[in-house]
Structures are given as C-alpha cells and as structure tokens.
Amino acid sequence: MIKAATFKGQDVAVFGLGRTGLTAAKSLAAGGARVHAWDDRDAAREQAASEGVTLTDLTKADWSDFSALVLSPGVPHKLPKPHWTAQRAEASDTPIICDIEIFAREIAARAPDNRPKIIAITGTNGKSTTTTLIGHILERCNRAVQIGGNIGRGVLDLDRMHAGMIYVLELSSYQLERAPSLHADVAVFLNLSPDHLDRHGDMAGYEAAKLNIFNNQTDKDTAVIGVDDPTGKRVCTMMKAKNGRRIVPISGRKSLAHGATVIKGKLYCAVGRSVTEVADLTRAQTLEGTHNWQNAAAAYAAVQALGLKAKEIGPAILSFPGLAHRMESVGMVGPVRYVNDSKATNGDAARQALAAYENIYWIAGGVAKKGGIEGLSDLFSNVTRAYLIGEAGEAFAKTLKTNKVSCKVSDYLETAIICATKDALASKKPNPIILLSPACASFDQFKDFESRGDVFRSKSGDIIALFQREINAAQLKSKSNDTSAA
C-alpha cells in the first residue's frame, strides 16, 4: 500500500467505501491523516469498521474542518444530480477529489529524480486491453510495473513507489475529472463515442473530462492519440497545434506518415524517415480485429516512449495471453468457436467483435444503452442469427427483423447458448462463431459484466462437453457400423 503522507495531520472525509474508498481511507490513515469515512449502505460501513477504518456520520459532521472530500468516482458531484456529500462539500468550499488525485500528489511530493513513471490510458473502448497489454510488455521486458486504477487494484493499494517503478493506470472519465494534479509521463487517448452522458451532460462534457489526461504534461512527455475515429483525429490536430510535447498518432487500419500503425495486420513504427516492422499481429489470436490492432499500436507507442526497443516489444506483444471477457476464446466444439465478449456493454464496443468475425451466432441483450443496436446495422451481414436475452430482447428483435436478420428471443443466456450451438453445428458454414457481445449493461440478470461472462464461459464449457460426447458417440457408432459391415 502507498501511504498518503501529503495529507498528514489533516481531516479528510471519505465517502463511498467500496474497493477504492476503503483503500483510500487506509492509505490516508497510514500517512497520518484523520480520516472520517462514511457510506449510505449499512453493509459497507460494517465491512469498513471490521477492517479498522474510522467511521464518522458525515450527515452530522462539521464540514469546515475537512481539507478534502474523497468521493467515490461512481458518485455524482454535479450531474445528473449532486450527491448530498457533494452539496455539503460545495457549501463549505471543500475540494472534491478521488484516489487518483491522492496518488498524483504523492508522486509530485517526491524529488524529481526519485519519481516513478506513469502511463495513463483512457478512451471509451479498449482501455482495459491496452492497459493490460502495456503491463504485460513491461513485465516481459523485465521492468518493474504495477497495473491499477479503473482495473484490478485501486492505485493506493499498489506497491510502494520508487524511481524505477512504472505505474500503468486505466482511468475513467469519472476519475479524470477529480484528479487535477495528475501528471502522466505518457498519456494515451484511444477513442471517444457516446457513453456516460447522464453524468457529463453531453459529448462536450464527456470529452472535456477525458482530455484532462493531458493536463500537466510538459515537453518531456508523450501523448499517444488514436486517430481511427473523428474525435481522435480532431484531438490529435488540436494537440499538435498546442505543441509542447511529443505527439504520437496511432491507427489500427491506415497508413500514417508518423506514428504507430497497423497495415494488413502488421504493426509498424514510423519515426523520421525510417519505418520499422514491429510484429505480425495476424499471429496473435488474442488481438483479433482492427480495434485490437489499434490497442497494440497504442501499447507499442506508450512503452517505446519510455525507451523500450521494437525488437523486444514485438515478441512481448505476440505473447499476450489476452483479457477475460474481451473477445476471449473459451473453447470449440467441432468447427464452432465460442467467444466471450461480455465487456461489450454498449453498441460501439460490440461493433469491434461484429467487425472481426463472419458467420456469427450473436448473443446480445441486457439493459440497453441509448441508441441500442441501430448503429450496428452496417455489420448485420456478418450475423447469421441472433439470440436475444434480458430486457432489451424484444426491442433488439424489432431492430433486427427490420433489417432482415434472423433472430430468436431466448430470454436467458443458457437458452441462447444451447440454441446457438445447435444452429451453428447444423449450418455447415465455415468457422462459425458463437459470440456473446451483448451491446448492453448486465444489471437486469447479472451482478456485472464479469459475472455474465463467467456464466457464458461455464455454460459454454458444459455444452461443449455435452456436444463433444454426442459427437464422439456418433463417431464410435459409425466406426462400429463400418466394422460390422466389413
């Protein structure tokens, strides 16, 4: 754990005692702060107390004593409606921050030659894959690395700071809007599409929160920017006009005069007049699709900015084991492959998998985001049949039928897997894919997208075993019949 010594001797309010809140409270206390922690949920307070966290009923506290309110990123401070703690903080002129800001202050407090490096990653889609891939590359290249933020461990739960450490942080818009001191040695902006608009008001507000990742960078730092979507292209142009840092454009599908790019599956680095081939990504099954090629380009550019060489980065990329719930191959029965893309919680995320495969038996549905799946109609030709689950089932069926896509409202995930398996095996199509890419949140039937993906993996495994037994029995019977006939 990182001790938050920059708040030593100060009173700090902490609201929201989930993973990051609990860690923040413990870190602050270890660093000498007087912590006043609270949560609206009885169970969360009980858990915090059992772990030695000091509780204070913030509804009755004197807010004029607090140096800061560490507010859980998921709790709104403005839109759609300010939480009551945010209202109290504003009334008492108390800064509202999150654990990322505490982490940033701890790094800034160290002598410049004793500071660890930070690679920070944001974007609507691809953050977790890119973050994990960067961490994997650094580990394979024998660098001291810690991965956290919006993935895995909270930042204050990471191992102690030292000059040789590299922190690789996935950052959400919620975190970035409450971390004004964050200084990233390498800031990665992947893409932007509509999401969290209730929290940010509109796309302009959402974009502004994401662009905070570039705040505080100097001419010694690097900005890695995806240019495969219109927003990224505009952001890259804007950042170049500002100057003051190294700008590296990245693309998963088009040639760039400068930057990291993937052309026909091969990752190239273009620097000055030289072009270096880094890796043949068609050999990496865990990085299928142009979106993952862009993620690989981003990861290359990020670690190259810290001095790693192409000849060591390329093999590390190809050894990447992949990420659970992100286009994760979970098994096969006959020619049919099962792919778990449960992390695709909106239409734009599902687009990536639908574009990567053909002959898709698509399992979709749950709690739909704004726009549903209408924006995916250009990829419906890749879908042989769809199996729809959860709240969005009937609405999605209407969209698909309008676009002449065969579909079935299956209601439940297990039913969808069984139906898709039968249809895919009977189809005789080449390389059929049973794809869970829901384009929806999971909360109608599952705790979270991880639970949904775990159920898909488990049930697919059961069905694979069942169908394989039937196939083996049929083959044995056929062989027996052949022997008898002889």
DSSP result, 235-265 = HHHHHHHH-SSEEEEEESSS--SSEEEEETT
Going from the C-alpha of 185 to that of each of 106, 221, 250, 309, 349, the distances in angstroms are 15, 5, 17, 18, 28
The pair phi, psi for residue 40, each rounded to 5°, is -70, -20
Q: Distance between CA 19 and CA 15 in Å, rounded?
A: 12
Q: Distance between CA 86 and CA 100 in Å, rounded?
A: 18
Kindly state the tokens that stand for 264. Answer: 């026909």
Contact (Cβ atoms closer than 8 angstroms) between residue 451 and residue 442:
yes
Q: Distance between CA 9 and CA 131 in Å, rounded?
A: 35
Going from the C-alpha of 131 to that of each of 152, 342, 454, the distances in angstroms are 11, 18, 21
Write out the catalytic residue numbers. 127, 150, 196
Selection from 156, 151, 123 nearest residue 226 by Cα: 123
Selection from 60, 55, 94 nearest residue 77 by Cα: 94
Q: Which amino acid is at 140?
A: R
Residue whose entry in the numeric block shows the structure tokens 């969808």: 416
Selection from 128, 150, 137 nearest residue 73 by Cα: 150
Selection from 386, 377, 368, 382 nearest residue 439 by Cα: 368
Residue 303: CA count within 13 A, CB half-sphere: 32
Query: If DSSP states are collapsed to H, E and C, what string results for 268-314?
Result: EEEECCEEEEEEEHHHCHHHCCHHHHHHHHHHHHHHHCCCCCHHHHH
Q: Distance between CA 115 and CA 109 in Å, rounded?
A: 9
SS3 344: coil
Going from the C-alpha of 111 to that of each of 33, 105, 143, 161, 163, the distances in angstroms are 22, 12, 21, 12, 10
Selection from 103, 181, 166, 102 nearest residue 299 by Cα: 166
Residue 409: strand pairing partners: 388
